[in-house]
Amino acid sequence: MKSIVVVSSLTGNTLKLASAVAYALNNNVEAVKVEEKPDVSDYDLVAVGCWINRGTADDKAQEFIKTIKGKKVAIFATLGAYPDSDHAKKSLENIAALFDSSNEVVGQYICQGSVSYKMVEMMTKMFPAGHPHAMTEERKARIQESYSHPDNQDLLKAREYFTELKNRLEG
Ligand SMILES: Cc1cc2nc3c(=O)[nH]c(=O)nc-3n(C[C@H](O)[C@H](O)[C@H](O)COP(=O)(O)O)c2cc1C
């Protein structure tokens, strides 16, 4: 099975994850950045990595996703929220729905990624107390926790997940 790993990453979190995915799926052949607009026609499996922007794939990843037709696809992503949250589940659903129906989504992996300080500053300024996105103590704690992610555990789990996926698809 020929695989390609394509990634969109603004601050580097998803890029780290992409290396783990590439290690597992592709014998460590480097992931390709989405900006390079790779031609995926020769591949059986396209693993697409993105960061979560307002509950779905970031714009660059969305643009690339739209070009994929008739492939097995796997999604990996990082986000500020907890990976077991409803928000994470919904975000993965939203990403899966972006793919043309000729594709088959065969796997998805999501983990937390450090939220940039700029983003925290922006949210604090933009959203007043009481707003659903306001900077509450709970949100601050979650963002604080995001700073150490993706950590070794997240990367190891991604490697395991994509190794199993590869075995399953080749089995
Ligand atoms: C403009 C912007 C919007 C974001 N929207 C969300 C969001 O809706 N949900 C979430 O959990 N995290 C959100 N985040 C956090 C990022 O998804 C997270 O920090 C991610 O790991 C960044 O990945 P990267 O380093 O590969 O760019 C947002 C970050 C930015 C900068």
Reading the block at residue 35, the tokens are 């900006």
Q: Is the CB of 55 under 6 A from ligand 1?
A: yes
CATH architecture of residue range(s) 3-114+149-170: 3-Layer(aba) Sandwich (3.40)
The answer to whether the peptide bond before residue 132 is cis (omega within 30 degrees of 0) is: no
Residue range 41-96, pLDDT digits in tens:
999 999 999 999 999 999 999 999 999 999 999 999 999 999 999 999 999 999 99
Which of 1-5, 52-56, 138-142 has the weakest average pLDDT?
138-142
State the Cα–Cα distance between residues 78 and 113, nearest whole angstrom.
5
* DSSP output for 45-71: EEEEEEEEETTEE-HHHHHHHTT--S-
Is residue 165 pLDDT above 90, yes or no? yes
Reading the block at residue 43, the tokens are 């591949």
Q: Is the CB of 118 under 6 A from ligand 1?
A: no
Question: Residues 147, 12: contact at Cβ < 8 Å?
Answer: no
How far does residue 71's CA lie from ligand 1's centre (Å)? 27
Which pLDDT score is estimated for 22?
A: 96
Atom of ligand 1 nearest to the CA of 81: 11
Question: What pTM does this model have?
Answer: 0.96
Q: Where are the domains of the chain?
A: 3-114+149-170, 115-148
Reading the block at residue 16, the tokens are 């780290």
Atom of ligand 1 nearest to the CA of 54: 8
- CA dihedral in degrees (148, 151, 154, 159; nearest 10)? 160
Residue range 117-134, pLDDT digits in tens:
888 888 899 999 999 889
The vertex-101 CA angle with 64 and 161, nearest 5°, equals 70
The sign of the dihedral angle between the CA atoms of 55, 138, 142, 74 is negative
